[in-house]
């Protein structure tokens, strides 16, 4: 990897930020982890202050409003953080010659397709969250800081923070009923694997939009069953349709029925496929058991 004098990670308390920091530290870097208390990216003055204080030559943006359903009621806030805030990072990065890596989502697509989405496919988000994340992507492309990189991923899970496996495990162990949608299809992605893959892209000076996920598309229902099996939890999980789920929870955001991302460009560049998500889930369990 090109040597970077100073590395900053925004959204520094999040799941992916922790994993990026770990990979960078293994390479001898001491990245600055800036959470919302240090820098609210929706405030341009705070963004400028962050750059002035740390003068990053590489900035990885993990800051986001990620509450998919919450964004439906907080569209202005979602657009401010996921859209305008990303634009502020891009603007100051361009002014200072900083490489910007920004993370986006499969939710920028509508799911009305019968093959994995390629990076250049036209987005059409269905939810307020997806629309706000697309705003961020557009701002990065419009401002075009040096060697900008957008990494889209999907169904992220990991050791630090809230994620689908943790919800399933906690509810199952509490004896709560489990009803999980079985007609939405995508690829779970382990945050540690995404972090390592991102550094590979940076190593190869990749720019533009890239798709990075673990492999083996699945449904939320089958993902939930695999989680219970991996953690050896004897609990029943009931499959339900998206229509039934929305009927039960009418304020839910609309999610794409199919959001598998095409990662062939990453495989061609790096010479390897991302590993299947069940293998990553095994590592997640091992880390859980270690309490780390």
- Give the Cα separation of 112 and 55 in Å (integer): 43
Q: Which of helix, strand or coil describes residue 214? A: coil
- Tell me the mean pLDDT in the region 103-121: 97
Residue 208: domain span: 7-161+189-214+261-275
Dihedral angle over CA of 122, 183, 286, 271, nearest 10: -40
Per residue in 169-195, pLDDT tens?
999 999 999 999 999 999 999 999 999
83-104: pLDDT as tens digits: 999 999 999 999 999 999 999 9
Average pLDDT over the chain, rounded to an integer: 95
CB 184 within 8 A of CB 242: yes
Look up residue 22 and give its two tokens: 């770990």
Average pLDDT over residues 263-271: 98
d(CA 129, CA 134): 9
Rounded CA gap, 154 and 245, in Å? 20
Q: What is the pLDDT of residue 270?
A: 97
What is the rounded average pLDDT of the residues 49-63? 97
| 223 confidence band (pLDDT: 50, 70, 90) | very high
Interior angle at CA 221, CA 287 and CA 194, nearest 5: 40
Q: Give pLDDT, residue 3.
A: 80
Q: How confident is the model at residue 249 (pLDDT cuts 50, 70, 90)?
A: confident
* Arithmetic mean of pLDDT, 236-264: 93
74 inside domain: yes
Predicted confidence at residue 214, as pLDDT, reads 98
Residue pair 276/213 in contact by the 8 Å Cβ criterion: no
Q: What's residue 168's pLDDT?
A: 96
Does residue 282 fall inside a structural domain?
no
Nearest-angstrom CA–CA distance, 42 and 254:
25
Q: Report yes or no on 34 lying in a domain.
A: yes
97 belongs to a structural domain? yes
Question: How many structural domains comprise the chain?
Answer: 1
- Residue 60 near residue 76, CB atoms below 8 Å: no
* 46 in Cβ contact with 39 (< 8 Å): yes
Whether 252 is covered by a domain: the verdict is no
pLDDT value at 117 more than 70: yes
In a domain, 284, yes or no: no
Give the span between the Cα atoms of 233 and 205, in whole angstroms.
43
Q: Is 129 a catalytic residue?
A: yes
Catalytic residue among 88, 117, 129, 258: 129
Pair of tokens at residue 186: 């995508």
| Segment 198-217, tens digit of pLDDT | 999 999 999 999 999 999 99
**Domain annotation covers residue 143:** yes
pLDDT at 292 over 80: no
Counting beta carbons within 10 angstroms of the beta carbon of residue 76, is it exposed (0 to 12), middle (13 to 18) or buried (19 or more)?
A: exposed
181 within a domain of the structure (yes/no):
no
The reported pLDDT for the residue numbered 250 is 81
What does the pLDDT look like over 19-55, one tens digit per residue? 999 999 999 999 999 999 999 999 999 999 999 999 9
Q: What is the CATH number of the domain that holds 44?
A: 3.40.50.720
Reported as a pLDDT band with limits 50, 70 and 90, residue 142 is very high
- Is residue 291's pLDDT more than 80? no
Element (H, E) at 10: strand 7-10
């Amino acid at each position: 990897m090109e040597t970077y004098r100073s590395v900053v990670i925004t959204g520094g308390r999040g799941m992916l930020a922790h994993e990026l920091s770990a990979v960078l530290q293994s390479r001898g870097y001491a990245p600055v982890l800036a959470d919302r208390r240090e820098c609210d990216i929706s405030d341009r003055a705070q963004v400028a202050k962050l750059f002035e204080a740390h003068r990053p030559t590489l900035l990885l943006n993990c800051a986001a409003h990620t509450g998919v359903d919450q964004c439906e009621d907080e569209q202005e806030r979602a657009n401010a953080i996921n859209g305008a805030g990303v634009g502020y990072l891009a603007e100051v990065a361009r002014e200072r010659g900083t490489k910007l890596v920004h993370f986006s989502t499969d939710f920028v697509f509508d799911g009305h397709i019968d093959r994995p989405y390629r990076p250049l496919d036209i987005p059409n988000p269905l939810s307020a969250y997806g629309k706000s994340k697309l705003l961020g992507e557009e701002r990065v492309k419009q401002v075009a800081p040096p060697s900008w990189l957008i990494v889209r991923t999907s169904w992220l899970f990991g050791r630090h923070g809230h994620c689908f496996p943790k919800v399933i495990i906690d509810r199952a162990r509490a004896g709560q009923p489990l009803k999980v949608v079985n007609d939405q299809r995508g690829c779970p992605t382990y945050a540690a694997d995404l972090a390592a893959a991102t550094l590979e892209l940076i190593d190869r000076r990749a720019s533009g939009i890239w798709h990075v996920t673990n492999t083996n598309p699945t449904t939320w229902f089958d993902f939930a069953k695999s989680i219970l099996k991996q953690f050896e939890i004897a609990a029943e999980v009931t499959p339900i349709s998206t229509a039934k789920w929305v009927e039960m929870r009418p304020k839910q955001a609309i999610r794409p029925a199919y959001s598998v991302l095409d990662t062939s460009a990453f495989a061609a560049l790096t010479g390897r496929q991302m590993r299947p998500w069940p293998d990553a889930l095994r590592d997640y369990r091992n880390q859980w058991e270690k309490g780390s």
